[in-house]
């Protein structure tokens, strides 16, 4: 028998709803205010919660928020918010904080049961790994060699203007096409033009996409509301990422589209969107195996490595090498300096292992050495460290990424020149380039095994 939690401070109406639901075969639990209702919902994990909007002790918005913020920790119920108010703004706000339905009082028992048992037209799930396989769009040939394209290469904030035309001013977004999949790395402002390009390429044909989010700082998610394929109901978009420091992935993505910030809520975006909060460090997107690791950056930030049929692509858009940060006089100190440095060295070693023999490395190279001195603990790397890291890990192709918004084209070219000089000074063959919008890179197929 399915359980429903009924939350309403209007006792007589609550009892009436309870009667309707019991007759319809539901196990009914009742609460007279939002606080008790949240406790009941968390303890019993019901299939549905029906909650009044305006209550003195914890209103319906708070109830929705509290339940949705639990993310995958609980079985997420269907939430129906009821209200005596028919204001469109209240309805929109309720949907923004996680309600599935909004029912205006008074209503009939039949209406309530019908809405309660109706399947959501589109589902936003918050599921733990494993990630289900993704079917690639028919027109994406699986035998095309894996490739990547940069759509946004800037860190922190978009920087359009004459001084950034060569490398581009849009924030982080990289498209990878490999083994029949379209995988998008981050949704910075660069994703807007990627969306337009996809819409042009696929026209009326449904497209299935996977978006991997490293973390939810603005420069990695802010372009999403402007991603045109999300507004086509035929399209399927799976968003994968890790829980943030304070809120779950779904919650953060929803909040940036709440009405004070954007006119369309995530729930009202027409494409079939599935937000999956990752619980493992290894998973597959179709045939592409993905490894993830947490990197050194404020909050929770992941790096990904995609193993395609023609080699691997590592993407660490925001990362500050541990050792450099800890050893700097202005860096984070602990009472035992030696212990702290050993720990930092181990952490950097783990990143080197993670990147070992990568064919392509796209990595945070925001500063040069001089600038880094005044940005210790900001969560970003510098060219010297990045080159050293790539050489240690025996990477083949390095892309300097997450360019500082204060760096003009000239400065980035200088940093690139310096990075290449560092490689040459060590007699190494690592290829280095600076990521720039529109740049494509095709992975060379691996030699056939004899
Ligand atoms: Zn960033
Ligand atoms: Zn960041």
- Domain with residue 305: its CATH number is 3.60.15.10
Residues 225 and 361 both lie in one domain: yes
Predicted pLDDT at 314: 98
Sheet holding 288-294, edge to edge: 282-285, 288-294, 302-308, 311-316, 360-364, 397-401, 431-434
Q: Is residue 134 part of a domain?
A: no
Report pTM: 0.72
Q: Is residue 409 part of a domain?
A: yes
Mean pLDDT by 10 residues, the chain (450 residues): 93 94 95 94 95 82 90 89 72 85 85 77 42 57 86 98 98 97 98 98 93 96 97 94 80 90 90 90 95 89 96 96 70 62 84 97 95 89 95 97 98 98 96 98 76
Q: Which residues contact 254 (CB under 8 A, 6 or more apart)?
A: 68, 96, 97, 98, 265, 266, 267
Using the mean position of ligand 2's atoms as its centre, give its distance from the Cα of residue 317 in Å.
8
How many whole angstroms separate alpha carbon 190 and alpha carbon 181?
A: 19
Q: Is residue 25 part of a domain?
A: yes
Residues 296 and 360 both lie in one domain: yes
> Helices (DSSP H) in 46-169: which residue ranges?
60-69, 88-96, 109-117
How many whole angstroms separate alpha carbon 300 and alpha carbon 242?
A: 8
Dihedral sign computed on CA atoms, order 84, 86, 89, 92: positive
Last residue within a domain, chosen from 100, 117, 134: 117
Q: Is residue 447 part of a domain?
A: no
Residues 80 and 151 both lie in one domain: no
Residues 230 and 331 both lie in one domain: yes
Give 141-144 contacts, CB < 8 A, sequence gap 24+: 141/180, 142/179, 142/180, 144/177
Backbone angles phi, psi at 127, to 5 degrees: -115, 155
> 44 is in which domain, residue-wise?
3-117
Using the mean position of ligand 1's atoms as its centre, give its distance from the Cα of residue 450 in Å.
43
Ligand nearest to the CA of 157: 1
Predicted pLDDT at 88: 65
Number of folded domains that form the chain: 2
Residues 67 and 176 both lie in one domain: no
Q: What b/e string do you get for 290-301 counting C-beta neighbours within 10 Å, with b at 16 or more? A: bbbbbbbbeebb
Using the mean position of ligand 1's atoms as its centre, give its distance from the Cα of residue 301 in Å.
10
Last residue within a domain, chosen from 69, 101, 117: 117
Using the mean position of ligand 1's atoms as its centre, give its distance from the Cα of residue 402 in Å.
7
Torsion of the alpha carbons at 55, 57, 60 and 65, rounded to the nearest 10 = 170
Predicted pLDDT at 204: 81
- Domain with residue 55: its CATH number is 3.40.50.2300
Please give the DSSP secondary-structure letter assigned to residue 335.
S
Backbone angles phi, psi at 305, to 5 degrees: -130, 120
* Cβ–Cβ < 8 Å for 69, 277: no
* Cβ–Cβ < 8 Å for 360, 310: no
Predicted pLDDT at 441: 98
Ligand nearest to the CA of 158: 1
């Amino acid at each position: 028998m399915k359980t429903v939690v009924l939350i309403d401070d209007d006792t007589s109406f609550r009892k009436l709803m309870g009667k309707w639901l019991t007759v319809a075969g539901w196990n009914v639990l009742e609460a007279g205010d939002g606080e008790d209702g949240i406790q009941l919902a968390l303890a019993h994990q019901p299939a549905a919660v029906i909650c009044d909007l305006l209550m003195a002790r914890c209103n319906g918005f708070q109830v929705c928020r509290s339940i949705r913020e639990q993310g995958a920790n609980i079985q997420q119920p269907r939430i129906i918010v009821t209200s005596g108010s028919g204001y469109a703004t209240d309805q929109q706000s309720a949907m923004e904080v996680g309600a599935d339905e909004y029912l205006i009082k008074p209503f009939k028992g039949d209406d309530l049961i019908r809405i309660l048992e109706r399947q959501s037209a589109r589902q936003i799930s918050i599921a733990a790994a494993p990630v289900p396989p993704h079917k690639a769009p028919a027109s994406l040939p699986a035998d095309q060699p894996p490739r990547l394209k940069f759509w946004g290469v800037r860190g922190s904030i978009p920087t359009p203007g004459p001084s950034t035309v060569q490398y581009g001013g849009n924030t982080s977004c990289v498209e990878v096409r490999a083994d029949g999949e379209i995988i998008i790395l981050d949704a910075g402002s660069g994703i807007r033009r990627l969306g337009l390009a996809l819409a042009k390429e696929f026209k009326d044909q449904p497209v299935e996409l996977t978006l991997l989010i490293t973390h939810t700082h603005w420069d990695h998610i802010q372009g999403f509301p402007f991603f045109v394929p999300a507004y086509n109901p035929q399209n399927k978009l799976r968003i994968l990422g890790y829980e943030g420091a304070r809120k779950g992935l779904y919650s953060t993505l929803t909040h940036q589209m709440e009405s004070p910030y954007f006119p369309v809520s995530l729930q009202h975006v027409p494409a079939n969107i599935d937000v999956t909060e990752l619980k493992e460090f290894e998973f597959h997107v179709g045939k592409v195996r993905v490894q993830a690791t947490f990197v050194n950056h404020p909050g929770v930030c992941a790096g990904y490595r995609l193993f395609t049929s023609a080699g691997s692509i590592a993407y660490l858009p925001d990362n500050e090498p541990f050792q450099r940060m800890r050893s700097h006089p202005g860096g984070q100190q602990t009472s035992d300096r030696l212990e702290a440095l050993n720990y930092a060295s181990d952490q950097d070693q783990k990143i080197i292992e993670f990147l070992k023999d990568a064919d392509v490395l796209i990595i945070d190279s925001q500063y040069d050495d001089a600038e880094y001195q005044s940005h210790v603990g900001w969560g970003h790397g510098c060219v010297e460290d990045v080159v050293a890291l790539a050489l240690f890990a025996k990477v083949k192709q390095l892309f300097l990424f997450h360019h500082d918004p204060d760096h003009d084209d000239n400065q980035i070219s200088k940093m690139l020149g310096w990075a290449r000089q560092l490689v040459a000074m060590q007699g190494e063959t690592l290829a280095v380039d600076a990521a720039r919008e529109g740049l494509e890179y095709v992975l060379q197929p691996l030699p056939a095994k004899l």
